[in-house]
Structure 1
Amino acid sequence: MQKVAIIGIGNDGVSVYNLLKNIEDIKIVCLFKAGADEKIGKFWTDENVKILDINRLHELKNLDVIINTLNSNVVNDIIKGVSGPTSVIETRAVNIMLRLFREKKELLQIKRVQGELSTILNSIQEAVEVADENGVIKYVNPAFTRVTGIPAEQRIGQNVFEISPDGALAMALKTGKNVFGHRTQVGGSNAEVVSNASPIIVDGNLAGSVVVFQHFTDVMKLMDELRQRTTMIENLCDKFGQVTTCKYSFADILGTSPDLKKSIQVAERAARSNSTVLLLGESGTGKELFAHAIHFASSRRDKPFIKVNCAAIPENLLESEFFGYAKGAFTGATKSKIGKFELANGGTIFLDEIGDMNLILQGKLLRVLQEMEFEKVGGNQTIRVDVRVIAATNRNLRDLIRSGKFREDLYYRLNVVEITIPPLRVRKEDLSSLVNHLIVKLNRKLGKKVKGLSQDAEEVLYSYDWPGNVRELENVVERVMVTVDEEILSKKNFIQHVSQLKIAPERDVELLPIDQMEQILIKKALAKYGNTVEGKRRAAQALNISLATLYNKLKRAKFENSSI
C-alpha cells in the first residue's frame, strides 16, 4: 500500500486527490496547504481526509510519495527537509497527470451525452436520419424502420444522394439551409412522408445534416384532429355566448286574483314534469315570465334556458336558427353553427310567438317534438337531444288551424299542458300590487323617490282596460316617473303624459233588466269566441265568470236550443 501526501488544496490538488482516491494500492494520508490564504478547491467533498499546514510535513513518517501541485521555492525547500526514501512528483509531472485526468473526464462526459442523446432519439415517434458532409448515412433511429420498413443495417452506410436525392436530407446538404414541410417518398420504400431537415454546422463548416419526418397519413390524422378540436372550441365559444339561464321564479309573478292563482297552480304542477307546455294569453300578460318560472321550478333549472322569438327571425333563417347548419351548407357558411335546440340540450327551449311559424318549419318542429332528433341545415348527421319545450302565442291557434295556417297535429303535440294567462283587465284587483312593485323597481333604476299614487290616479288606472296588459302598465308608469319629480303621482300626471290613455266617456244606455242584459252579453261573447267548449271557456273568461256559471246561465235561459 503506497502512502501518498498531496501538497496544495486548490483545484489542482483536489483534482489529483479525485484521480487517486479510488485506486486500491494508494492511500492518501493527508493534504497540505501552503498558507492560511490558500482556499480549498470548489470540488472538495471528502471531509474525512486531514488538511494540515505545510510546515507539519516532516511530522508524517514513512511517506512513499509526495505529490507537489504548487510551484513554490518555499514549498520545495520544505520537501527537501523530509527524511526517508520518499519519492517526490514535481509540478510538471503533476500537470501531465492532471491533463490526462481532465481528458478522461471529458471523454466520460461525451459518452454520457451520447448515451442520453441515443436514448432520446430511440424513444421519439418521429423518424430521424443523420448523414455526414458527404451524404453518407451515419444514423437512423428505430422510428425510421417503423415508418419506412427499412432496417437500420440496410440504411447506414448508404449515400443519400444516390438513394434519395430529392429528399429533405439531401436538400439540406446541398443548400446548407433548413427545409420545412417537404413532402416526398423515402428512397427505397413506398412511404410518403412530410420532412423537416437542417444542416449540421461545426465551427462554421458543414459537417452533415439531420432530417426528421412522419408518415403523411399520420400528419393528416393530426391535421384532422386539430380541425376537430378547433371546430369544437369554436362551437363551445358560440354555445357559451348564446346559452342563458332563467331569470324569474313563481315568486316574481305578482297578483292574487283567482284567475292568476289558477294559472300559477297549473304551471307549478307542469314544472314537476317534462311535458310540453302551451302558454296562451294576450301580448304583455307575462307569458315569458311564466316560461322562466316553469324552468326554474323544474329539475332542469341548472341546465340552459334558450328563448326563440319565432316572429322576430326571418322565415328563411328560422330553420338554421332552430337546428343550426353545417359548414358549406350555403354561401358564407365558413364554419358550422349550433342551433337553438342543440344549445338547449338537457334544458328548456321557449318558443315565443309560435303562431307565426311557417308551415314547413312546423312539420320539422313536429318531428323534433316526437323523436327528439334532427339534422342541421346542409348536414346528414342525426343529432339527438333531450329538450323540454314551452311554447307561447297571443294568437288563436284554432282559428289558424281552420284557416290552414297552423298544423293541427302540431297543435295537439304542443297542447299537452295548456295554461291561459288572464289579461290585466279581468284582474284589476292586482293593479295596486303591480304598480307598487313597479314604483320600487323604477325608483332604483331612475334615482327617484316616488312613494305611491293619489286616489284619483288609481281611479284613472282602474278605469282603463289596458290592451297592452302588464307591459303597457310598466311603460306608462315609467314614462310618468321619468317626467315628474313629485313623491305622489296624481291623475294630472297620467293624463298629461300618456296620450293613449283614453277613458271611455259615460253615455246614456237603454235600461234593461239584468237578466236580459246578461243574455245579450252572453250572446255577444259566444258570437265572438264560438259555441265550442274552448269558445265557451274563453267567453266565460271575457265575461269574468266561471265556465260552470256560464253553463248554468245557458241552461237556465235555454240557450242550448237557440241559434247561439
Structure 2
Amino acid sequence: MQKLKVGIIGAGRGGSALLETLKDFDNIQVVGIADIERKAPGMKIAGQRGIRCFDSAEKLLRESQLDVVFEVTGDDGLVKELRSMIPESTTLVESRAVNIMLTIIRERKELLEIKEIKEQLSIILNSAQEGIQMVDRNGIIKYVNQGYTRITGIPAEQRIGTNVFDVSPDGALVEVLRTGKPCLGKRNRAVGSNAEVISNASPIVVNGKMTGAVVVFQDISEIIHLTEELRRSTSVINGLKDEIKKLSEGQGKFEDIVCQSQKMKNIINLAQKAAREDTTILITGESGTGKEIFANAIHAESPRNGKPFIKVNCAAIPENLLESELFGYEAGAFTGAGKLKLGKFELASGGTIFLDEIGDMSPVLQAKLLRVIQGQEIERIGGTHPIKIDVRIISATNRDLVDLIRRGRFREDLYFRLNVINIHIPPLRERKEDIPALTDLYINFFNRKFYKNVKGVTNKARDMLMSYNWPGNVRELANILERTILMADGEWITEELLIPYFEQFKGREKARGGILPLEEMEKRMIKKALEEYGTSVEGKRKASEALKISLATLYNKLKKYGIRI
C-alpha cells in the first residue's frame, strides 16, 4: 500500500501534537517539518524519529514531494504564501482544520473508554444532543438515541433491527465493521437529513473481541460540546461501576477468623496459599462451619480483590430462575423479559463468583456450568453469541459430592473441575480449642448489638459449652450465645441460662435409644428425604412424592419443625 506523504509547517505545540497523532497511522509518512525556530519542540521530536527538519516552508516544499501539507502556525499571511507555492497535486490543510482533526482524534480515545452498559448508558446518552447509533458485529442496529432521531428525522423503531449494510453502506459504521479499526472525522450527510456532520465511529471491544461498533455524529460547530458530553458520560459510568463494586465486595479477611486450634491454623495457611493461585476452589464442611467466611477471605487476599465478589446460593433460588440469575437474559427472551439482564457471571467480571450449596444444582445446570469453566464464556438466555468472561469460581457444599456422584446426582467431570484445590473446614466438635475464643468474640459482638455488659461465662457454663457436640457448629454457638445474652440479667452467662438448651439436647439424645415420638420421627424422615433429593424446588417436589404428601404440606411441616434449608 502506497503511503501518503505529509509535510508539517510549524513545530510548536500544534505541530508536536500532530506528529504524535500521525505516527499511529501506517498509511501516512511524515516526510519533513519546517519552523523558523530550530529549537521548537516538534523539531526535536522529528529529529529523534529521523524526519527531515527545515528552517523555512519554502525549503520543505522545494526539496520534498508531498501529497498533503499541514499548516499549524495559524499565520494567515503564511497561508496565502503557501497557496501560491504548493503544486496543484498537493493538498493544503489549514490550521483550523488541523485543530478540528486533532479534536476528533482525541475524541476517539474517549469513545473507546465507554463500555457497553446499555441500561445506564441509555439514560445518559438520550440527554445528549449528538446523534448516536450502535450496531452489533453483524451490522444489526441495536440502539439509537433521541439525538439521532432529532437530526435524521427517523424514529428509533424504524431504525432499530435494520442492517446498517443495507441502510447506510457508505457510512462510518460499515467501515469499522469491515476493517475492525476506528473511522474518525468522516464527513458526510446524515441519512434522512441535509445536515452535514462529522462521524466518529469506533469498534466496541469486550474481552479482546469486537462485539459491535458505535458512531457519534454532530455538526462540525458543536464538536466541543460533544467532547464535554462524552466526558460527563464517562464520569457517570465510572461512578456507576464504583457503586456496583461497593455493592458486590465481600467482607472478611483471614485475620478475622478466630481460632486457637492447630488444625484450623493449618487450614487457614492452605487457604492463604490457594488465594494467591488463580484457580477453582471447592470449600467443604458441615453447615455452620464458616464456608462463606473462607470464600470472602480468599477473594480478599487474591489478585482479584479490587474486583467484584458475587455470591449465589444455588439452593435458595428456584431451579427455573437460577439459570437466568447466573447467565442473564436478552430483552424479549421470554414473557416478562422487557430489558436485558446481566447474569452473576457478567457482574463478577474480573473478580470472583461464589457458588454456595453447589451440591443442590440440577444436572442440567451442572452441564452448563461445566461448559462455562471449560470455555471461559457464557451465553445469555435468548442470546445468539457467546460472551467471554474472566471469573474465578469458588464453590462450597455441605453435602458429600462423592456420594452424589456415586448415585448419579452430580457430574464427576464437574467435580474434578471445581475441586482443583479443596479446603475442608472441620466441624466445631473436632476443634473445641476454638470454643473459648469464639465465645469471647460473640459475647463482645452481642454486647454491642443489644447494649449489654456481659463479661463472660462462668466456669461451669464454659464446661457445658466444651462438652456439647455442636451439630450446628459455629452458627449454633452464635445462636445460643445471642439468646443467652438477651436473657442474661447479670454480668455473667451461667449454667442456668444454658441448661434449658442442653436439657433439650439430652432429651433428643435419650430418645435415640428408645421409642421416638411421632413428630420427631416425621421430622427425621423429612430431613432424610431432603438429604436424598436436595433442597431445590425440584428436590422438594421429589421429596414430597417420596413422603406421600403434597408439596404444600411439606412446606408447612418445614415451617412447623423449624427445618432450615
TM-score normalised by length of structure 2: 0.49
Greater C-alpha radius of gyration:
1
TM-score (norm 1): 0.49
